Structure 1
Amino acid sequence: MELFVVNRHEGDQLQEVPENDEQSKLDKVLKKIEKNKKLRLKQKEKQSEIQSAKQKTIEARKIRREIKASIISVPENTNNEFIDKTVEEPIQNESINTEKPSNKKRRLDPALLEGFTVLGADNVSNKTKVKRVLPNWLSNPSIISVNLQNLETKVSDLKQLDKGLRKLLKANGVKYLFPVQAQVIPWLLQSIHDSQVIFPRDVCVSAPTGSGKTLAFALPVIQALKKHTVKKIRALVILPTQDLALQVFKTFKMYTQNTSIDVCLITGSNSFAVEQSQLITENKVFGPISRIDILVCTAGRLVDHLKLTNGFSLKNLEFLVIDEADRVLESVQNDWLYHLEKHIHLEEPGSQDVHVLNLQTLQKHRPPQKLLFSATLSQDPEKLQKLSLFQPKLFTSIMENQEETNNIEKPRESFIGKYTTPSELSEKYIVTSVELKPLFLYKFIKMEKLTRSIVFTHSLESAHRLTLLLRTLLEDKVKVEEVSSNLQGKSRNQLISKFTGGEIDLLVCTDSLARGIDLPNVQCVISYSAPKHLKTYIHRAGRTARAGEQGLAVTLLNKTQLSKFKGLLEQANKTNVEELIIPEDDLEPLEEKYRGSLVELKKIVEKEEKLNLERTLVAKGNKKTRKKRKRQDSVGTGSNT
C-alpha cells in the first residue's frame, strides 16, 4: 500500500539535516577557503618576485651607467684593475661603489678602452681610416709629361708609323709629336703587331685637354685597318656629344686620305633613313653589306641602329674607342653598354658561353681592344668593371710640381694624374658680391681687353640674360654671342666658326661646350657661375692653353663659395691659384651705367616674354583651327557618302 501514498507539499520549510552531514559540509567550505588563501599567497609571492627582479634590473642598469660615467671621469682612487673588470666581465658584485664620480677628468690610455665605444669622450683616438687598395695598373701608370713647349719627338723619327701617315702629318703642319702621342702611338702599334701572337691589352689614357689625344688613337687605328680589303665595321669610336663626334670624324677623314678606308658619322643630325643608307647597302646575292670600316657615333644613336638597322653588325670589331670616357660611362642613354656587349657577344644556338676562356671562345668571340681616353679618367671600380678591361695599361700625366716625386714609391691607394691641366695654363679667382658680379665681370673684360674668350654659366636662362646685359654694358664695342643646347646644329656650328674666325669676341655658354671641343687660340676662360665639381672646372679650363699655347682661367666667386672652391682645387693638388683683386671703389664710377643696363635688360626680357606668349597663343589657335577643319572635312565626306 505504500506505493500509493502521496506526500503533500507543505511549503518551503527547511528539511532537517543530520548533524554529521552539516559538519562535513562545513569542513569542505573551510578547506576551500584555506586553499584560496594559499593561492592568493602564492600569487602575491610571484608578483613580489617579479617586482624585485624588475627593481634589480633597474639597479643594474643604473650601476652600468655610473660605471660608464666613471670611465670618462675616473675617481683618483680607482685602479686599472677595476676598469678592466667592468669592461670585460658582466657585473656580479652588487656592492660596487655607486657614488657620484668626481668632476675631475683623468686621461686614460686608449688601449684600456679597446672594444668599448665611449660617447662624448675627447680622449679617445679617431678610428683608423680605411685605405682603399687600387689595382697595380691604376697605382703604377706610365707617366706622360705635360710640357708642350719643348717637344723632342719628331714625326720623321717615328719609323713604326706608316710613311703615308707621316706625310699627311707634315702636310698638316705637325712636325713634332706631343708627349701623349710620342708614348701612346708606339705602344699601340707594337701591341697591334703582337696581337697576332698574344691577346692585346686594353689601354686607358688620362691627359689634359688639348694634349693631342685624338691623334694618339686615330693614327694607330688607321694604320691597323689599311691591310683589310673587305668592308666590315672594324673600329667603333663613341663620344658623348654631337660636336665632339663631328670633330673626331673630321680627324679620321683627314688622315684616311689616299686609302680605301671609309669613315661614317652617325649622331642624329641626319634622318635615320639617311644614316642607314650610309651604313648598309643591299646586295641581291649576299644581302646587307657594310659600306664602312670606321664608325664614329654617339651612344644613344648607336643603340637605335643596333635595334632597328637590318644587317648592321659589329661582330668583326677590332677596336672600341671611348673618348671622354668618364662622361660616356656616366651616360645611361638607352643602356648603350649593355646593348653593345650583347651585340658583340651574340652567340650561335648551342655554342658555349662567351665568358668561358678557352681556344674556341678566343677564336670565335675575340673581343675588341678597348681604348679609353679622358682628361678626368674615372677610378671608380664599379664603372671600370662594366667595361671588362683585359690587363689594362694606364698612361697618365702629372703637373710639373709633382714630377720631382715621380721616383718616390706611391701608396697603393693613390691614383696620380687623375686631374691634370696644361702647364701653360694660368689660374686665378675673383671674390665678388652677388649683386655686383656682372659689374666685376665687365670691369675684368675692360681691364684685360679680352677677345677670343668664353664665359661659362650654369643654365640657359643665365647665359641668355648675361649675354643681353654684357651687350648693353659693352655697347657693341665687343661682339658678344651665346651658345646653348637650344641652338640647332647648323646655327650652333656657324657661331662656333665665327668665334674661331675672330668675328665674335665673347662666347657666353653653358657646360655643353665644356667637353673636348677644340676652339683654337682661346685667350681666356671665365667661370661666371662657380663650378660645382672638379671635373667641371678641369673641362672648362681645358678650352684654353691648348696645344702648347698660353691661356688664362678665371673663376668668379661669392665669399661663401671660396672655401668649397679651394677644397675642389686641393683634390687636384692645385696650390698656385692666385686671387685677382678688383677694389669695389673702382666700380663706383660705373654705378649709373650699371643701373641703366639693368633697366634696359628688364625691358628686353619683358618684351621677349610677351612675344613668346603671343607665339604660344598663335600656335594653339592654329592647332584648334586645323582640328576644326578636319572635323568639317570628315562631316562633309560623311554626308556625301
Structure 2
Amino acid sequence: MDLFVVNRYDGDKTITEEEEKAKLDSVLKRIERNRKLRQNQKEKENKVKEAKKYAIEQRQLKKIKKASFIAVPENAHSEYIAKDEIAEIEDEKKVEVEEIPKNKKQKLDPTAIEGFTILGLETFDKKAKVKRVLPKWLSTPTVISVNLQNLQTKTSELKILDKSLRKLLKENNVKHLFPVQAKVIPWLIEANKHADVIFPRDICVSAPTGSGKTLAFVLPVIQALKGKTIKKIRALVILPTQDLATQVFKTFRLYAQNTNLDICLITGNNPFAFEQKQLVSQNEAFGFVSKVDILVCTAGRLVDHLKLTKGFCLKNLEFLIIDEADRVLDSVQNDWLYHLEKHIYEEDVNSQTSKILNLTSLQKRRPPQKLLFSATLSQDPEKLQILSLFQPKLFTSVVETEEGTSNTTINTETFIGKYTTPKELTEKYVVTSLDLKPLVLYKFIKQEKLTKTIIFTHSVESAHRLMILLKSLFKDEMKIQEISSHFQVKNRNDLIAKFSAGEIDLLVCTDALARGIDFPNVQCVISYSAPKHLKTYIHRAGRTARAGETGLAVTLLHKTQLTIFKTLLKQADKNNVEELTISEEDLEPLGEQYKQSLEDLKKTILKEEKEDLQKSKNAKRKVLKRKRKNSIQSNSSKQST
C-alpha cells in the first residue's frame, strides 16, 4: 500500500500572534451578533404582548364606563358587577390581536423570527350578519287575523258584494264573514272594477285550514263574470286532488245558481269523451264553441284536454286560481304550467317574452289575474317566480296574542313564511313504544270518549291493518271504516257523507284526505304515523277546529321520533304542544284482549291474502281460456278456407 501513498512535505509552518488574534476577533463578533439577534427577538415579542394587554385594558375601560351609568343597589356585591368584565376579558383572550387604532388590520412580519413562520397574527374585522332581504310585497303583507270567535264583518253590511250573493249567503246561514273573506273579497271586487283599463294585481293568500279561503275567491269571481253574455272559459281553478276539486265545484255551483254561468268539473272521474262533450260543441256556422264559463279541474286532466280536445280554448282567461298552491306548484304532473302558458301564448315564438309587459304584449291581450291560496303557501321568491306574478300582493295570517295584535305592532320578520293553525285548535302528543302503539291508541280513544275522529297513517296497507285491529278491539262499541286513494271516488264520497252524518265514529285514512277536504264537526285528529314534514302536520291538524269550532290534534310518537317532531314544531313557532302520558300500568288489564286482537288481525290478513291469490288465479285462468278459444276459432277458420 505504501507504493500508492504520496506524502507531501511543506516544511514546518508556524501560526503568528496576529493570525490567532484575528481568529479570536471573528469568533467574538459572531457571538455578539447572535446576542443582538436574540435581544431584538425578545423586544418584538414584548411589543406583541403589550399590544394585547393594551387592547384588553381599553375594552375593560369602555365596559366600566358604560356600567357606571347604570344604577347599582347599595347592597349589591362587587363580584356581580365584575362578572361581565371577567367574561369580557376571557373573550378577549380568545380573540386575535388587534392593532390600535381600532378597525385597522395589523400585520406582523412572518420573517421576524428566523427559521419560523408565525401563523394567526393577522386580525380581521367581524363580519356583519347577513339579514334576509325579501321583495317589498313579501315583507309588507296585509295581515289577516285567525280569530274566528269574534267575527265583526256582517254579510249584510258588505254592500260591495252583489245583493243576490248576499241573499244566498244568508240562505246558507253565513251571517258573518271570516277574517280572510272580509279582507280578500272587497279587495278583489274593487281591483276588477276597472280591469279593462288597469291590469289587476295578482294575489297570494296564506291562511289556516278551515278559515274560509274557498269562499274568498268563489264570490268575487262569480260577481265579476255574471254579466258576461258570450260563453268562453274565463276562470280556471286548478286543484291537487279529485276530492278537493269536487268540493270547490259544488261551492261554485251553489253560489252561481241565480246566474247564467256554466261551471264544469274535469278530474278524470268521467270518461274522457264525456268530458270533451261537456267542454265544447261544434256547429257549422261558428265551428267550436265553448259551453263553459268556469272550469274546475286537476292539473293532470287539464293537460290531457289541452293536448287532445279540439276547440278547447283558454285564451280568454281572466282568472287563474290555484288552490292548495304549494302542492300544485310542487307537482310536475305532465308539466301543466308549461302546457298552459304554451296554449295561452301559442302565437308568440317565445312564450317567455310574451309575459313581459311591453307595448306589443299589451296590444294582444291582458294576462289572467292569478290568485294563489294555501295554508302552507311557499314564500320563497324563487319558487313563486315561475308563475310570473304581476305586481303581487300578499295576504297572510298571524295568531293574535292575548293582548291583541294590530298591523302597526307586528314585526313582519316574525311571521313571514310561518305556517299558522286555528286559534281554537288544541295540540298534544303521546310518547309510546312501537309494540304498544295500537293499544295506546285504543286506550286514549276510550279514555277521552272520542267520536267523529280521523286517524292518519302513512300508507294504504297500514290504514287497512289498523282498521282491522281497532274493529277487533272495540267489537261493536264503535263504527270504524277505512278510506284511501285505492277506493273509487263514489265509495269515498259515500264514506265521507256517512262520517259527516255521524254514522261512522272512527275513520282511518291516509294523507290523501289531509288536504282541503271539509269534514264538518270533527272532534279529534290523531296522527297514528308521525308526520315527516311540517306541511303534513299542518294539513292533518287542519281537518279539525274548522270555521271557528274547537278541535284536538294528537300525535303518537316513538322515543326516537320525539326530537324530529319537536324540530318540526319549532319551525312553526309552536311552544304550546302538551305531552299526554298513558302509563303501561293502565294498559296491563288490556293485555289478553290485545293479544287476541293481534291473533284476529293475523287470521284476517292471511284469509285476505288467500282470497286475493285465488282471485288472481281465476283471472289468469279466464285469460288463458279466452286465448285458447280464440286460437281454436282461428285454426278452424283457416281449415275451412
Is TM > 0.5 for Structure 1 vs Structure 2? yes
- What residue in structure 1 maps to residue 314 of structure 2? 314
One-letter identity of the residue aligned with 2:595: R
For residues 467 and 475 of structure 1, what CA distance do their matches in structure 2 show? Answer: 12
* C-alpha displacement of 1:202: 0.3
- What residue in structure 1 maps to residue 124 of structure 2? 114
- Please give the residue correspondences for 1:520-599 in structure 2 after superposition, counting only pairs within 5 Å: 520-599=520-599
- 8 Å CA contact 2:398, 2:415 repeated in 1: no
For residues 556 and 130 of structure 1, what CA distance do their matches in structure 2 show? Answer: 39
One-letter identity of the residue aligned with 1:201: R
- What residue in structure 1 maps to residue 188 of structure 2? 188
For residues 169 and 91 of structure 1, what CA distance do their matches in structure 2 show? Answer: 82
- What residue in structure 2 maps to residue 382 of structure 1? 382
For residues 219 and 468 of structure 1, what CA distance do their matches in structure 2 show? Answer: 43
- What residue in structure 2 maps to residue 222 of structure 1? 222
For residues 564 and 135 of structure 1, what CA distance do their matches in structure 2 show? Answer: 31
One-letter identity of the residue aligned with 1:443: K
1:100-157 deviation per Cα after TM superposition (whole angstroms, max 9, x unaligned): x9xxxxxx9xx94439xxxxxxxxx8x7654331111112111111111111111110
For residues 548 and 297 of structure 2, what CA distance do their matches in structure 1 show? Answer: 29
Unaligned runs of 5+ in 1: 1-74, 102-107, 116-124
1:15-74 deviation per Cα after TM superposition (whole angstroms, max 9, x unaligned): xxxxxxxxxxxxxxxxxxxxxxxxxxxxxxxxxxxxxxxxxxxxxxxxxxxxxxxxxxxx
- 8 Å CA contact 2:111, 2:117 repeated in 1: no
- What residue in structure 1 maps to residue 341 of structure 2? 341
For residues 275 and 602 of structure 1, what CA distance do their matches in structure 2 show? Answer: 44
1:175-204 deviation per Cα after TM superposition (whole angstroms, max 9, x unaligned): 111111111000000000132331110011
Q: 1:76 to 1:446 in 2, by over 3 A?
A: farther
- What residue in structure 2 maps to residue 45 of structure 1? none
For residues 131 and 617 of structure 2, what CA distance do their matches in structure 1 show? Answer: 61
* C-alpha displacement of 1:87: 9.7
* C-alpha displacement of 1:443: 0.3
Q: Secondary structure at the match of 1:401?
A: coil
Q: Secondary structure at the match of 1:194?
A: coil
- 8 Å CA contact 1:139, 1:415 repeated in 2: no
Q: Secondary structure at the match of 1:487?
A: coil
One-letter identity of the residue aligned with 1:424: E
For residues 352 and 536 of structure 2, what CA distance do their matches in structure 1 show? Answer: 44
- 8 Å CA contact 1:139, 1:414 repeated in 2: no
One-letter identity of the residue aligned with 1:294: I
- 8 Å CA contact 2:428, 2:580 repeated in 1: yes
- 8 Å CA contact 1:249, 1:265 repeated in 2: yes
* C-alpha displacement of 1:560: 1.3
For residues 117 and 110 of structure 2, what CA distance do their matches in structure 1 show? Answer: 13
Identity across matched positions, percent:
66
One-letter identity of the residue aligned with 2:440: F
One-letter identity of the residue aligned with 1:175: K
- What residue in structure 2 maps to residue 269 of structure 1? 269
One-letter identity of the residue aligned with 1:96: G
- 8 Å CA contact 2:341, 2:351 repeated in 1: no
Q: Secondary structure at the match of 2:478?
A: coil
The Cα RMSD (Å) is: 2.7
Segment drifting more, 576-585 vs 478-487: 576-585
* C-alpha displacement of 1:169: 0.6
* C-alpha displacement of 1:555: 0.5
For residues 408 and 351 of structure 2, what CA distance do their matches in structure 1 show? Answer: 49
Q: 1:128 to 1:431 in 2, by over 3 A?
A: farther
1:202-232 deviation per Cα after TM superposition (whole angstroms, max 9, x unaligned): 0111111111111100000000001110000
Q: 1:336 to 1:98 in 2, by over 3 A?
A: closer
For residues 552 and 98 of structure 2, what CA distance do their matches in structure 1 show? Answer: 63
- Please give the residue correspondences for 1:327-476 in structure 2 after superposition, counting only pairs within 5 Å: 327-347=327-347, 353-401=353-401, 404=405, 406-408=407-409, 410=411, 415-416=415-416, 418-476=418-476
Out of 92, 114, 119, the residue aligned to residue 95 of structure 1 is: 114
- What residue in structure 1 maps to residue 163 of structure 2? 163
- 8 Å CA contact 2:483, 2:508 repeated in 1: yes
One-letter identity of the residue aligned with 1:160: I
1:297-328 deviation per Cα after TM superposition (whole angstroms, max 9, x unaligned): 00000000001100000010000000000000
Q: Secondary structure at the match of 1:288?
A: strand
Q: 1:417 to 1:615 in 2, by over 3 A?
A: same
* C-alpha displacement of 1:571: 1.1
One-letter identity of the residue aligned with 1:114: F
- What residue in structure 1 maps to residue 206 of structure 2? 206
Q: 1:279 to 1:433 in 2, by over 3 A?
A: same
For residues 461 and 600 of structure 1, what CA distance do their matches in structure 2 show? Answer: 16
1:539-572 deviation per Cα after TM superposition (whole angstroms, max 9, x unaligned): 0000001111110000111111112111111111
For residues 285 and 380 of structure 2, what CA distance do their matches in structure 1 show? Answer: 48
Q: 1:463 to 1:400 in 2, by over 3 A?
A: same
* C-alpha displacement of 1:383: 1.6
- What residue in structure 1 maps to residue 38 of structure 2? none
For residues 236 and 352 of structure 2, what CA distance do their matches in structure 1 show? Answer: 26
Q: 1:487 to 1:128 in 2, by over 3 A?
A: farther
One-letter identity of the residue aligned with 2:418: K
1:179 lines up with 2:198 in the alignment: no
For residues 431 and 406 of structure 1, what CA distance do their matches in structure 2 show? Answer: 39
* C-alpha displacement of 1:345: 1.4
* C-alpha displacement of 1:415: 4.8
Unaligned runs of 5+ in 2: 1-44, 53-95, 100-104
1:414-433 deviation per Cα after TM superposition (whole angstroms, max 9, x unaligned): 65363111111111111111
Q: 1:326 to 1:227 in 2, by over 3 A?
A: same
For residues 351 and 371 of structure 1, what CA distance do their matches in structure 2 show? Answer: 21
* C-alpha displacement of 1:463: 0.5
- Please give the residue correspondences for 1:242-253 in structure 2 after superposition, counting only pairs within 5 Å: 242-253=242-253
- What residue in structure 2 maps to residue 33 of structure 1? none
Q: TM-score, normalised by structure 2?
A: 0.81
Q: 1:404 to 1:257 in 2, by over 3 A?
A: closer
Q: 1:415 to 1:592 in 2, by over 3 A?
A: same
* C-alpha displacement of 1:94: 8.0
Q: Secondary structure at the match of 2:455?
A: strand
For residues 425 and 609 of structure 1, what CA distance do their matches in structure 2 show? Answer: 41
- What residue in structure 2 maps to residue 58 of structure 1? none
- What residue in structure 1 maps to residue 608 of structure 2? 608
For residues 299 and 349 of structure 2, what CA distance do their matches in structure 1 show? Answer: 28
For residues 98 and 237 of structure 1, what CA distance do their matches in structure 2 show? Answer: 69
Segment drifting more, 556-565 vs 317-326: 556-565
For residues 352 and 88 of structure 1, what CA distance do their matches in structure 2 show? Answer: 53
- 8 Å CA contact 1:541, 1:553 repeated in 2: yes
* C-alpha displacement of 1:380: 2.0
* C-alpha displacement of 1:96: 2.8
Segment drifting more, 195-204 vs 214-223: 195-204
Q: 1:593 to 1:200 in 2, by over 3 A?
A: same
- 8 Å CA contact 2:326, 2:376 repeated in 1: yes
For residues 575 and 350 of structure 1, what CA distance do their matches in structure 2 show? Answer: 50
- 8 Å CA contact 1:521, 1:549 repeated in 2: yes
Q: 1:614 to 1:355 in 2, by over 3 A?
A: same
For residues 173 and 277 of structure 2, what CA distance do their matches in structure 1 show? Answer: 35
- What residue in structure 2 maps to residue 635 of structure 1? 635
For residues 344 and 132 of structure 1, what CA distance do their matches in structure 2 show? Answer: 36
**Larger C-alpha radius of gyration, 1 or 2?**
1
- 8 Å CA contact 1:202, 1:391 repeated in 2: yes
Q: TM-score, normalised by structure 1?
A: 0.81
Q: 1:559 to 1:340 in 2, by over 3 A?
A: same
* C-alpha displacement of 1:625: 1.9
- What residue in structure 1 maps to residue 260 of structure 2? 260
Q: 1:451 to 1:631 in 2, by over 3 A?
A: same
- Please give the residue correspondences for 1:64-143 in structure 2 after superposition, counting only pairs within 5 Å: 79=49, 95-97=114-116, 112-114=122-124, 130-143=130-143
